[in-house]
């Protein structure tokens, strides 16, 4: 990382993982079995031999909800997988949606806070949510995925996950985990009912699926899609250009003996890698490699890698020792983005898929049902954003909103929401990425967001 400011913003308490994201989770032990040859693109040991099995720990979570929150809310699901290989631990950290909201890591704190409780009212706030996305429209494709038919999974046994793993053969590799039993989802009405009657619905379902004598254990097929590095490769690409190649099978077959010990104390990071697999130049991935271990040290302690869910099979570490909670000797495990038309291309294709599948009205209902709680000026900007996807989409959302009875979450935006940050800060922030002396100034001030509404102060 050549810039200090993004590191400071993503590795301090209150940023990304340490702000309470991914708090509500289920977890299970299992195994990964390699079923197909991958030696043409990687030398990683756990992928070196067909039939080779590797012990794994999986953690599946919502993102915005706190511990005790309802499972069946419309939210991205986080997926973290730790493989205990003969060469050390290897972590895959991804989501259930194939795309994400941002590509600049400096936006992580603002993104996470906009999806959580408002700092003044201490309740979820639709105006804060949509205001963030109105001003960071590179996430439109992820928004459409979230508010589409797959926004609320019916079961953790029927959910797919995605991660990015560049390998040592200089190919970018995206890993897909798809449930063998297929993907199933909930509509808003059923999800709302379960949120009230069974807030721990997904956690219970996963536990019972593993314990049941009826064969229900989650089983997923792992596949990869790969590309040769090229300029602009980490961006918009057609899925059809990169077909999936099967890799192996992931099976979750054992519940934790003690939830706190095995799941709550588990720590995952995209920087936990084995030989044969390395990180790409994607700045979002690079920032996560800093922030995830920092969050683990803050949340669990400096020696978190000694704990059972994080301890590697074989350890040699003469340079790491002492510190609080040492239990096993010396141990270590062997700016505001410019939005372009290209950012809306995949969203337009997804809208066409919704139209063809007949799920377009579900999407309209989901967005308008959430957006109706935002203040009017935020609604207008959101409608304008969706117009860049398709005029018909924005017109239908606007029409649906006019038919809604409910008003915004709050009569007026808390903390002088109409106030605006000085326009010169947008330019200042952009220039700071080029001129180091400006970046030094930014290191001395806290500018959480450069947008029209002051939600995070």
- What is residue 124's DSSP assignment? B
Q: Dig out the tokens for 6 from the structure.
A: 């993004």
In degrees, rounded to 5, the angle at the alpha carbon of residue 72 between the alpha carbons of residues 66 and 73 is 65
Q: Cα separations (Å) of 229 from 43, 85, 170, 234? A: 18, 27, 7, 9
The Cα–Cα gap between 381 and 371 comes to 11
User: At what angle are helices 188-197 and 360-371 packed, to 10 degrees?
Assistant: 50
The Cα–Cα gap between 109 and 450 comes to 13
- What is residue 117's DSSP assignment? B
Q: Dig out the tokens for 326 from the structure.
A: 């040492």
The Cα–Cα gap between 148 and 74 comes to 10
Identify each DSSP E strand in 123-211 by its residue range.
161-164, 172-179
List the alpha helices (DSSP H) in 47-116: 108-114
The Cα–Cα gap between 54 and 46 comes to 7
Q: Contact 246/220 with Cβ under 8 angstroms?
A: no
Q: Which residues are annotated as a binding site for heme?
A: 292
**Residue 162, beta-bridge partner list:** 95, 176
Residue 10's closest CA among 104, 88, 137?
104
Q: Which residues are annotated as a binding site?
A: 292
Identify the helix (H) or strand (E) that includes residue 55.
strand 53-62
**Maximum CA extent, the chain:** 67
Q: Contact 130/374 with Cβ under 8 angstroms?
A: yes
Q: Dig out the tokens for 132 from the structure.
A: 């963030």
The Cα–Cα gap between 304 and 317 comes to 14
DSSP secondary structure letters along 226-240: EE---TT-SS---GG
Residue at token pair 């959480």: 448
Sorted by sequence, the CB contacts under 8 Å of residue 434 that are 6+ apart come out as none
């Amino acid at each position: 990382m050549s810039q200090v400011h993004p590191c400071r913003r993503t590795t301090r308490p209150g940023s990304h993982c340490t702000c309470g994201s991914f708090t509500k989770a289920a977890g299970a032990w299992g195994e990964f079995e390699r079923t197909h040859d991958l030696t043409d693109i990687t030398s990683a040991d756990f992928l070196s031999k067909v039939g080779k099995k590797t012990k794994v720990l999986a953690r599946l979570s919502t993102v915005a909800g706190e511990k005790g929150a309802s499972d069946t809310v419309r939210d991205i699901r986080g997926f973290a997988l730790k493989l205990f290989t003969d060469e050390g631990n290897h972590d895959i950290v991804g989501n259930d949606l194939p795309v994400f909201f941002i590509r600049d890591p400096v936006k992580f704190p603002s993104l996470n806070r906009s999806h959580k409780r408002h700092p003044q009212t201490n309740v979820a706030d639709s105006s804060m949510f949509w205001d963030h996305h109105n001003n960071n429209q590179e996430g439109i494709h992820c928004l459409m995925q979230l508010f589409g038919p797959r926004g609320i999974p019916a079961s953790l046994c029927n959910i797919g996950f995605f991660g990015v793993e560049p390998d040592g053969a200089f190919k970018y590799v995206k890993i897909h985990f798809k449930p063998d039993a297929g993907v199933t989802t909930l509509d808003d009405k059923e999800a709302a009912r379960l949120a009230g009657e069974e807030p721990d619905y997904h956690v219970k379902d996963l536990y019972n699926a593993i314990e049941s004598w009826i064969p229900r254990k989650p089983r997923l097929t792992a596949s990869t899609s790969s590309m040769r590095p090229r300029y602009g490769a980490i961006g918009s690409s057609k899925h059809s250009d990169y077909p999936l190649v099967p890799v192996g099978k992931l099976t979750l077959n054992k519940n934790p003996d003690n939830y706190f010990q095995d799941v709550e104390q588990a720590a995952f990071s995209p920087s936990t890698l084995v030989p044969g697999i390395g990180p790409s130049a994607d700045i979002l991935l690079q920032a996560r490699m800093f922030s995830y271990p920092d969050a683990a040290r803050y949340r669990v302690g400096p020696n978190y890698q000694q704990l059972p869910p994080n301890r590697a099979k074989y350890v040699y570490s003469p340079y790491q020792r002492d510190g609080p909670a040492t239990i096993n000797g010396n141990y270590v495990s062997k700016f505001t983005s410019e939005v372009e038309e290209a950012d809306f291309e995949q969203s337009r294709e997804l809208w066409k898929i919704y139209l063809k599948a007949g799920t377009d009205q579900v999407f309209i209902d989901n967005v308008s049902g959430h957006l109706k709680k935002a203040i009017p000026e935020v609604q207008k900007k959101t409608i304008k954003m969706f117009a860049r996807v398709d005029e018909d989409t924005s017109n239908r959302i606007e029409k649906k909103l006019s038919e809604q009875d409910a008003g915004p979450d709050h009569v007026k935006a808390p903390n002088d929401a109409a106030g605006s940050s000085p326009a010169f800060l947008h330019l200042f922030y952009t220039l700071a990425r080029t001129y180091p002396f400006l970046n030094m100034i930014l290191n001395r001030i806290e500018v959480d967001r450069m947008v029209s509404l002051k939600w995070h102060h």
